[in-house]
Structure 1
């Protein structure tokens, strides 16, 4: 297993697990230094990753070699879950964006004519119950088309390399699996199928998003059902998913 080391806002490595354990035992690495390897959602203290390794004695100056080549800077922070209002704001932005294709579809499928007819019925003091039923029947196809457009929009965007819809990108949010990795199209489809169900019963965003306010990982109903997270930070700010190998096998000092 290859391990990346985070110290003072910089990322070093990757190094073999055996090396990291030796450096912990020799004291060249501190137990408060941070580590990350493929599969972790975020950086963790080395004391958490390798709790059994303790320094045998304080290191002497001769134990230190020149520092290994440094990689690009990386933030060693805890998992930063997106909050309720951030996610609600992203939903509003996406809703505004989706209004455009929805209005086009409504116009093409006769929804505007049905709306005008409904207004005429209301102004003429006609039977409102009958008028509403006629309107619902006339706009059924455009409503279904709008739902399908929204489903495809969310499913494709959140499983893309950006891991976010335009609304989430605007607020620097991303959708991940429970390990902080990009989700598949299938998982994204499941996640948004739950959103679609609540849309049908006219409860979105309340059912999906209200759970964000009180769940430990700020997950909505659709996150819980699909085992996903919404995190702060763009996809490009994540730790590397597949770190490149390093030829450095010397001592660690940074």
Structure 2
């Protein structure tokens, strides 16, 4: 049976994803002229009028980019983000099958709840039988320690 993706493996995968996302978002927001300090210096006038909309635009771009990054990649044929691929983790439904974009979106938004309750939703991964966080339970997903989704779909007895 393929093992579940444990807490520390998932933390490491998230750090890889966070670094990649930060680099990409820095490039995009810089290219769009949303670099807060740079634009304020160029304006030379009343920075308060421009800072609010710039920060709001940066946050919106960041939020949408993160949602699409996680939802599109986890529902793709790879079944994993770049960080999960690097570590060797995949995301499946409870039957070991690829998840839909809708389920991946629900999982992403459920992660907000996992974080809001003092990260307890994430810490649950270390203590639950199938290594599920609150977001996994809400979205009915599992994370496996494998690079090949066929191992889970073909030969695993998921409920053993």
- What range is the shorter-chain TM-score in? 0.7 to 0.9
Is 2:140 the counterpart of 1:218?
A: no
Give the TM-score taking structure 1 as reference length. Answer: 0.51
2:119 aligns with one of 191, 197, 206: 206
CA shift for structure 1 position 82: 0.9
Size of the aligned set, in residue pairs, is 149
SS of residue paired to 1:219: coil
Output the CA distance in 2 between the equivalents of 1:211 and 1:106. 34
CA shift for structure 1 position 237: 2.9
Output the CA distance in 2 between the equivalents of 1:109 and 1:198. 31
Output the CA distance in 2 between the equivalents of 1:84 and 1:170. 15
Which structure shows the higher helix fraction?
2
CA shift for structure 1 position 106: 2.0
Which structure shows the higher strand fraction?
1
Output the CA distance in 2 between the equivalents of 1:155 and 1:174. 13
Matching residue of 1:102: 25
Matching residue of 1:167: 83
1:115 aligns with one of 37, 43, 47: 37
- Stretches of structure 2 that go unaligned for 5 or more consecutive residues are 42-46, 156-160
Report if the CA contact (8 A) 2:95-2:153 is conserved. Answer: no
Greater relative CO (CA pairs within 8 A, separation 6+): 2
Output the CA distance in 2 between the equivalents of 1:221 and 1:148. 22
- Stretches of structure 1 that go unaligned for 5 or more consecutive residues are 1-76, 120-130, 242-254
Computing the radius of gyration over CA atoms, which structure comes out larger, 1 or 2? 1
